Structure 1
Amino acid sequence: MLNDLGSKLRKSIDSLAFKSGVAAAACMTALCMTAGSPALAGSVTQPGETIGLAVGAPLPEGVYFVDTFDWGVREGQNGAPDTTLAVNIPVLAWATPAKVLGARLQLLAALPALAVGVQNSDYTSGIYNPFLAGQLAWDLGNGLGVSYLLGVYLPVGNKLGFDSTSINQRLGISYTADDWNLTANTIYGIHTRSESRTLNPDFLNIDVTATKTFGKWTVGPVGFASWDLNKPTSTYRKQDQIALGALAGYNFDKVILQGYLTRTVSETNYGGKDTRAWGRLIVPF
Structure 2
Amino acid sequence: MAAAGIVLATPAGAGSVAQPGGSIGIPAGAQIPVGLYFVAVPNYGVRYTFPASSDLNVNTATFALSTPWSVLGARLQFIVFNRSAVSASARGAPSSTGLGQSLYATQLAWNLGNDVGVSYLLGGYVPNSTRFGPQEGSLTHRFAVSYTGNGYNLTANLLYGHFLTDRALNGTRAFPDYLNIDLTATRRFGKFEFGPVAYASADLPVGNVPGYRRQSQFAVGGLVGYNFGPVNVQAYITRDVAERHYGGQETRGWARLIVPIWQDKGEVAPNRTLVTRQQGQ
Q: TM-score range by the shorter chain?
A: 0.7 to 0.9
TM-fit CA distance, 1:40: 6.9
Matched, 1:134 2:106: yes
Q: What residue in structure 2 maps to residue 69 of structure 1?
A: 42
Q: Unaligned regions of 5+ residues in structure 1, if any? A: 1-20
Query: Could you say if the C-alpha distance between residues 175 and 183 of structure 1 is closer, same or farther in structure 2, counting changes exceeding 3 Å?
Result: same
Query: Could you say if the C-alpha distance between residues 76 and 24 of structure 1 is closer, same or farther in structure 2, counting changes exceeding 3 Å?
Result: closer
Preserved CA contact (<8 Å) 1:186 1:206: yes
Q: Unaligned regions of 5+ residues in structure 2, if any? A: 262-281
Measured in 1, the distance between the counterparts of 2:221 and 2:193 equals 14
Q: What residue in structure 2 maps to residue 259 of structure 1?
A: 235
Show CA shifts across 1:20-62 (max 9, x none): x342311314xx5xxxx8x872000000000000011100100
Q: What residue in structure 2 maps to residue 227 of structure 1?
A: 202
Q: What residue in structure 2 maps to residue 24 of structure 1?
A: 4
Query: Could you say if the C-alpha distance between residues 238 and 22 of structure 1 is closer, same or farther in structure 2, counting changes exceeding 3 Å?
Result: closer
Show CA shifts across 1:84-116 (max 9, x none): 100001000100111001110000111100020
Please tell me the residue identity of whatever aligns with 1:105.
L
Measured in 2, the distance between the counterparts of 1:43 and 1:120 equals 23
Please tell me the residue identity of whatever aligns with 1:98.
W
Measured in 2, the distance between the counterparts of 1:119 and 1:228 equals 22
Which structure exhibits the higher relative contact order, with contacts defined as CA atoms closer than 8 Å and separated by 6 or more residues? Answer: 2
SS at match of 1:23: coil
Identity across the alignment (%): 45
Show CA shifts across 1:204-245 (max 9, x none): 000000000000000000000001002363321001110000
The within-5 A match list for 1:73-222 is 73-77=46-50, 80-115=51-86, 116-118=88-90, 120-196=92-168, 197=170, 199-222=174-197
Q: What residue in structure 1 maps to residue 260 of structure 2?
A: 284
TM-score of the pair, normalised by structure 1: 0.86
Preserved CA contact (<8 Å) 1:22 1:128: no
Please tell me the residue identity of whatever aligns with 1:139.
N
Preserved CA contact (<8 Å) 2:53 2:90: yes
Query: Could you say if the C-alpha distance between residues 40 and 126 of structure 1 is closer, same or farther in structure 2, counting changes exceeding 3 Å?
Result: farther
TM-score of the pair, normalised by structure 2: 0.88
Query: Could you say if the C-alpha distance between residues 219 and 270 of structure 1 is closer, same or farther in structure 2, counting changes exceeding 3 Å?
Result: same
TM-fit CA distance, 1:158: 2.1
Please tell me the residue identity of whatever aligns with 2:5.
A
TM-fit CA distance, 1:159: 2.2
- Report how many aligned residue pairs link the two structures: 256
Please tell me the residue identity of whatever aligns with 2:214.
K
Matched, 1:271 2:251: no
TM-fit CA distance, 1:119: 5.0
TM-fit CA distance, 1:186: 0.2
Which segment drifts farther, 119-128 or 98-107?
119-128
Measured in 1, the distance between the counterparts of 2:13 and 2:72 equals 39
SS at match of 2:4: helix
